[in-house]
Amino acid sequence: MSAGDPVAPERDLGYDELGMLADNAAEAGIPYVADAPARVQRVWIDAPSGHEVSALVWGDGPPRYVFLHGGAQNAHTWDTLLLALDRPAVAIDLPGHGHSAWRESGDYRPQSMAGDVAFAIGALAPEASTLVGMSLGGLTALATLASEPTAAERLVLVDITPGVNQEKAAPIIAFVGGPEEFASFDEILERTMAFNPTRSRSSLVRGVLHNAREREDGTWVWRYDRPTESRLGDVEGRFGDLWDAMSALDHDLLLVQGGLSGVVDDEDIAELHRRRPQAEVIVVEEAGHSVQGDQPVELARILLGFAAESG
């Protein structure tokens, strides 16, 4: 893979996106270094699709970890985990999410995003060893390694397998398929809290600030390219070929399952072990689908252990 230089972070995003890191650390009981925001950079690259992909680059050394968030999320979902991990890393905004460009086609299937993601990894983390993907990001990580196996040495899937379907994803679809706009910040926060009962109000305030924006008339809208009703309903059978991609990979594989989530079930685990008998599965009992949101420090500990075990 070859890639151009990332674009320097010179843009006004409309809010201080790094100004909340101290709050992330305090809530999780993580020691906070005063210059931590200076060690995080927002960058953009021009991807092969013709669209810009944005990312947060953490730390001073060559990034060894790359993180891909779930659908309707953004790179900041990993903030607390990355503070706990304390390793050079890159958290990518998937196409159509965060500060990455939207696609005119509205095509955000894992297979269609894989090329841009692989390119971003080559540009920002050419020495990456561990690729971590949650939900849609996990499926995109699978597709990325299928198309570019050298993008990372090991794969961590967070509460997702290619066996996801309409029924398992129902709570996610219900949330993402909600209103297109909200009359106030309180209204968008209230809806977010209703769908995330395991999370603190303060963490969700930060999450909404990162994932939504206020328009000139005072209404609020999501930053991500909101799926159409037909796209939301098109989950069944979309990812079956990624089981074959998983079988073909020669990467150490870990699945981290949220104990309170129904997105991964026993049949998925059985199929995972049938195709990848050596794959490891760890259940985080007090976490829902967003393990990095519910138990970020525990997930950081798991990632460090997995990297150490697999060399």
Helices (H), 7-107: 21-28, 79-85
The helix/strand/coil state of 102 is coil
179 to 174, 196, 219, 223, 289: CA distances (angstroms): 10, 17, 12, 13, 22
Residue 250 neighbours by CB distance under 10 Å: 8
- 247 flagged as catalytic: no
Residue 35 neighbours by CB distance under 10 Å: 6
Q: Which residue among the candidates 54, 100, 135, 203 is catalytic per the annotation?
A: 135
Rg of the chain over all Cα atoms, to the nearest angstrom? 18
235-246 exposure pattern, b = at least 16 Cβ within 10 A, e = fewer? beebbeebbebb
CA 235 to chain CA centroid, Å, is: 18
Nearest partner of 157 among 143, 144, 141, 145, judged by Cα: 141
Q: Which residue among the candidates 159, 225, 252, 294 is catalytic per the annotation?
A: 159
Q: Which residue among the candidates 210, 289, 290, 294 is catalytic per the annotation?
A: 289
Q: Say if CB 130 and CB 311 are below 8 A apart.
A: no
- 135 flagged as catalytic: yes
Distance CA 275, CA 269 (A): 10
Distance CA 55, CA 93 (A): 5
Q: What's phi and psi for 281, nearest 5 deg?
A: -125, 125
The enclosing H or E element of 139 equals helix 136-147
- 202 flagged as catalytic: no
With a CB cutoff of 8 Å and minimum separation 6, the contacts of 86 are: none
Which residues are catalytic, by number? Answer: 135, 159, 289
